[in-house]
Amino acid sequence: MVGSSHEALHRIFQKDPALLTRALQSVLHIPFPEPREFAAMNVDLTEIEPIERRVDTLLRAETDEGAYLLVVESQGKPDERKRGSWPYYLSYLYEKYRCEPVLIVTTQSSVTARWASRPIHLGVRGCPSLTVRPFVLGPDNVPVITDEREAERDVPLAVLSAMTHGKGPQTAPILESLAAALRTIDPDSAAVFVQFVDSCLADPRAQQMWRDMMTAIQYFWRHPLAEQVREEGREEGREEGRAQERAESVLRNLRWRRIDVPDAVRERVLASTDMDELGAWLERSYQVSDAWELLTEGA
């Protein structure tokens, strides 16, 4: 179970290693050769000395040009210690495996992205003995995917988009397009991606919107992440309590999308105790442009 944005931002590449090389090629415009296969590797870089050093994710990519080691580091904020450990990681991996190491940093913060992208120079100022240039995937270069068809063409990239841009005015359309795209892949993979996104949504309103959305299409409930929410539902214990929560979710989604809700619509939604009807309204609340359309079947 993924418990934090730090973990999700590198584990998504364990789930779909090809996403990492696609990001290098299409987002960062790095001429990385097309891999034939990938292999996960041990992330522990500790030597005999009692100093523990671990990378977040380490993948081996086999290409026609030879093997590459893809080192993925998830970074929440600037940390000057990394400017010493990152060169160590690359040197150690090259010495041990004799493969070219590539450092990729993922972050949700533009400030952290700018910090991480600065070259690391070790040695004489102006004439360093060693230079490390991290490749950074962050809010300034990961595409904002709000179109449903675009999300369907590359679901893992749409997941990365939601994880990276999970706050701000474009959150709702990003999550809506991703929710639609998840319907096109197998449910087990979708459930994993749902958890990755949930872990990265720092805005409580966005996270609740995502959970409501996933409840409507029944992906969220396939994963252990939902157990906490299910437990809360059991404590409420009554059908009317669950109906009221779903009705409030419908109205909350409309408010999040800045759609005015007339009193008559609000009263109609809150008065309903039909879970199927409320479920239909919940799903429709991500699509309508007018609150009255919510009550119109086929809107």
Joined together, the tokens standing for residue 262 give 């007339």
- DSSP letter, residue 225: G
C-alpha distance across the termini of the chain, in Å: 37
Compute the C-alpha angle 193/219/151, nearest 5°: 50
Identify which of 26, 85, 23 has the alpha carbon closest to the alpha carbon of residue 59: 23
pTM to 2 decimals?
Answer: 0.68
How confident is the model over 123-154, as pLDDT tens digits?
A: 888 889 999 999 999 999 999 999 999 999 99
The helix/strand/coil state of 156 is helix
Residue 170 confidence class, pLDDT cut points 50, 70, 90:
confident
Average pLDDT over residues 245-264: 82
Residue 44 and residue 275: Cα distance in Å, rounded?
A: 49
Average pLDDT over residues 16-36: 87
The helix/strand/coil state of 178 is helix
pLDDT at 248 over 60: yes
Q: Pick 49 or 200 by higher pLDDT.
A: 200
Average pLDDT over residues 206-227: 66
| Predicted local confidence at residue 152, as pLDDT | 93
Contacts of 49 (CB under 8 A, 6+ apart): none
Residue 268 confidence class, pLDDT cut points 50, 70, 90:
confident
Residue the block writes with tokens 């590459």: 68
